[in-house]
Amino acid sequence: MPDMKKKYDEEVRTKLAEKLGIKNVMQVPRLTKIVISTGIGSDMERDAFAEAQKHIGALAGQQPVITKARKNVANFKLRVGMPNGVMVTLRGSRMYEFLDRFVHNAMPRVRDFRGIPKTGFDGVGNYNMGVKDVSVFTEVDADKLKYPLGVNVTMVTTAKTDEAAKALLEMMEVPFEA
């Protein structure tokens, strides 16, 4: 959806610059990437990874990668190199398209949805949130889900503070709690 990027470039950047009191256009915060990931327990079967790849690929529009453990963790029976999750990084037009579908289609389908929590900021302008059930996305058929699957959505911005990042995401119509 190139119109989402065009809308952001024209309307949001000028309004955001005024709101934050920024004179230089290059200092206005912008969204750089969205990372969609899920962790899969080591006790899950092998076909859980294939299913997770299929569903995350469907909602992202590109092929995700299987992440592997970097450290041994005895409590989780995890060894270096063992697969432990699936992730995909979205940039450019696919990022804006996913954000539009996420905000306008998936979030309203969450039961008792009153907005996303404001507590997901990390202190340097990035936002993380979890979606407990991937079936809120219209691309995923709930009847074909064999394993329960939740996803983590990370929005990475160029903002230096959480307030600037929150203002940016609000301008991009991300619904925060009141």
- pLDDT tens digits along 48-83: 888 888 889 988 889 999 888 899 888 878 889 888
Which residues are CB-contacts of 77 (< 8 A; sequence separation ≥ 6)? 42, 43
Interatomic CA distance for residues 3 and 97, integer angstroms: 9
Provide Rg for the chain, Cα atoms: 18
Residue 92's H or E segment, with its range, is helix 92-101
Q: What pLDDT was estimated at residue 157?
A: 94
- Condensed to tens digits (0 to 9), the pLDDT of residues 14-52 reads 888 888 898 888 889 989 999 999 988 765 666 788 888
Buried b (16+ CB within 10 A) or exposed e, 75-99: eeebeeeebbbbbbbbeeebbbbbb
| pLDDT band of 95, cuts 50, 70, 90 | very high
C-alpha triplet 45, 47, 51: angle, nearest 5°: 125
Q: Which domains does the chain have, with CATH numbers?
A: 30-170 (3.30.1440.10)
| pLDDT band of 6, cuts 50, 70, 90 | low
* For residues 94-102, average pLDDT: 90
Interatomic CA distance for residues 98 and 5, integer angstroms: 12
- Condensed to tens digits (0 to 9), the pLDDT of residues 148-176 reads 788 999 999 999 999 999 999 998 888 88
